[in-house]
Amino acid sequence: MTGTLVQALSYTMLAVVAAMVGGIVAVYRAPGPQMESNVQHFAAGVVIAAVAAELLPDVHDRAPLVVVLGFAVGVATMLGVHRLSKVIEQRDVGGEFAGAAGLLITVGIDMIIDGVLIGVTFLAEAATGVLIAVALAIEVLFLGVAGVVALPNGVGTLKKLAVPAAFGLLLTVGVTVGVLSLDGVTGAPIAVILAFGSAALLYLVTEELLVKAQTVPETPTSTTLFFIGFLAIFLLDMLH
């Protein structure tokens, strides 16, 4: 168990560093809308490839009812998180931070879920865990940027950088909880979690990354980056 936890946390550090890099970039040189769209397209391709190449094959031969349960819970959870963010914004929770509160809480919950998923995939198969960790590191890079950009202009640099740092901390907490609580567990519980993770990541791509990417006109570059991201992870899986 200790070896698996250390391995999972070591690869999770890629995402932790990516979050900080994204935060630092956003503090000193926030990307424009087109660059954000390009990054979102690339991240979407990466995440879909990770789901298609690693998670879905692992749940393909499981009992159909177990897979349906995992997917249903995953979709319901993500819809609930989305609804929570809207309620927070509508009720003006957080005063001047109300506009960012919904996003920050949503991303925080997503970080815990992603961390648990990384932990579970390392328990199931280390190679799968590596690819999921790499894919999520690219996602977290963008989320680090988004978290800082969402804050009011008057917030100091240290407080801004505390946001991606918190994302990284929550991710590592999720990994630790996932490995320690599910070590030795097999069968249906793992299948449910993998199906849950697949649904959560597909929701992230279709309802978050690609929706936000469409705030600017689609370009050949952004579309190409989606397929480059997909192909990069798919080839990495083939060569691993």
Residue 120 located in a structural domain: yes
CB 157 within 8 A of CB 27: yes
Residue 47 located in a structural domain: yes
pLDDT at 38: 86
Number of compact structural domains in the chain: 1
Q: Which of 111, 136, 178 shows the shortest CA–CA distance to 50?
A: 136
pLDDT tens for the 240 residues of the chain, in order: 578 899 999 999 999 999 999 999 988 887 788 887 888 888 888 888 888 887 788 788 778 898 899 999 999 988 888 888 777 767 665 555 555 676 777 788 888 888 988 998 898 888 888 888 888 888 788 888 888 887 877 788 888 899 999 999 999 999 999 899 888 777 788 888 888 888 888 888 888 778 877 888 888 999 999 999 899 888 877 776
pLDDT at 176: 94
Residue 28 located in a structural domain: no
Structure token digits, residue 151 = 């804050």
Report phi then psi at 29, rounded to 5: -160, 85
| Measured distance CA(54)–CA(52) in Å, rounded | 6
> Chain-centre distance of CA 39, in angstroms?
14
Residue 27 located in a structural domain: no
- Read off the amino acid at residue 159: K
Residue 107 located in a structural domain: yes
What DSSP line would sit under 159-205, residue for residue?
Answer: HHHHHHHHHHHHHHHHHHHHHHHHTT--SHHHHHHHHHHHHHHHHII
CB 198 within 8 A of CB 74: yes
What DSSP line would sit under the chain, residue for residue?
Answer: -HHHHHHHHHHHHHHHHHHHHHHHHHHHSPPPHHHHHHHHHHHHHHHHHHIIIIIHHHHHTS-HHHHHHHHHHHHHHHHHHHHHHHHHHHTTTTGGGHHHHHHHHHHHHHHHHHHHHHHHHHHH-HHHHHHHHHHHHHHHHHHHHHHHHTS-TTS-HHHHHHHHHHHHHHHHHHHHHHHHHHTT--SHHHHHHHHHHHHHHHHIIIIIIHHHHTTS---HHHHHHHHHHHHHHHHHHHH-
Which single residue is written with the structure tokens 């390009």? Answer: 38
Range of the domain at 49: 2-22+33-239
Q: Which of 112, 79, 85 shows the shortest CA–CA distance to 101?
A: 85
